[in-house]
Amino acid sequence: MTDELLTLPQALKLLQVPRSTFYGWLQRGVAPKTIKYPNGKIMVRRSDLEAWLATQEVSA
């Protein structure tokens, strides 16, 4: 596996949003794809985060 896995705190830091905002996105189904381990830990693949960010771009 060559794709870097980010912890939720790492992803939040890159996105510059609080945890509550991210969980709100998850509940609404608009967050980037995540991986949830059986212990509840959430991880985000860097490539999924970057792909999701690209879909959020708007033209001026």
What pLDDT digit, counting tens, does each position of 30-57 carry? 999 999 999 999 999 999 999 999 999 9
- Residues contacting 33, CB < 8 A, separation 6+: 44, 45, 48, 52
Q: Is 19 helix (H, G, I), strand (E, B) or coil?
A: helix
The verdict on residue 17 lying in a domain is yes
The verdict on residue 21 lying in a domain is yes
User: Do the Cβ atoms of 34 and 26 come closer than 8 Å?
Assistant: yes
The verdict on residue 29 lying in a domain is yes
The verdict on residue 60 lying in a domain is no
The verdict on residue 48 lying in a domain is yes
pLDDT above 60 (res 1): no
Q: Tell me which residue range forms the domain holding 14.
A: 5-55
- Residues contacting 11, CB < 8 A, separation 6+: 22, 32, 44, 49
pLDDT above 90 (res 59): no
User: Do the Cβ atoms of 36 and 27 come closer than 8 Å?
Assistant: no
The verdict on residue 11 lying in a domain is yes
Q: How many domains does the chain have?
A: 1
